[in-house]
Amino acid sequence: MLTAIDHVQLAAPPGSEAALRSYYVDVLGMTEEAKPPALAARGGCWFAAGGVRLHLGIESGFRPARKAHPGLRVTGIQAFAERLASHGADVTWDDGLPGHRRFYVHDPVGNRLEFLEPA
């Protein structure tokens, strides 16, 4: 029986860890989690905030998905969008989900991220 999502893994190109850390920690406000040594040798980064855990794994020949994305629930979505925009994020609002406010941004390597809050 499924009980929860443990984490979501996104891909990133080799050598992008510094940009990922800057974005996920400084812009999104997440905390970096230490990877186990055997996995740390592969590169990439793990981040957490509240019950959200995102793993960014290094992929040779990386190309960001155009549509696939995690949907991340937030509180204070307007202020959160303003925070991201003040850091240079291109915030794209979408009113297509009834009962929610939501927007999309892309991380520094092109991964699409959705942020939403029940209206």
Query: What is the tally of structural domains in the chain?
Result: 1
Question: Which distant-in-sequence residues (6+ apart) come within 8 Å of 98 by Cβ?
Answer: none
3 domain residue, yes or no: no
99 domain residue, yes or no: yes
What single string gives the DSSP state of each residue in the chain?
A: -------EEEEE-TT-HHHHHIIIIIIT--EEEPPPHHHHTT--EEEEETTEEEEEEE-TT----SS---EEE-SSHHHHHHHHHHTT---EEE--STTEEEEEEE-TT--EEEEEEE-
Q: What is the pTM of this model?
A: 0.94
CATH label of the domain that carries residue 110: 3.10.180.10
The per-residue pLDDT for range 41-96, each reduced to its tens digit, is: 999 999 999 999 999 999 999 999 999 999 999 999 999 999 999 999 999 999 99
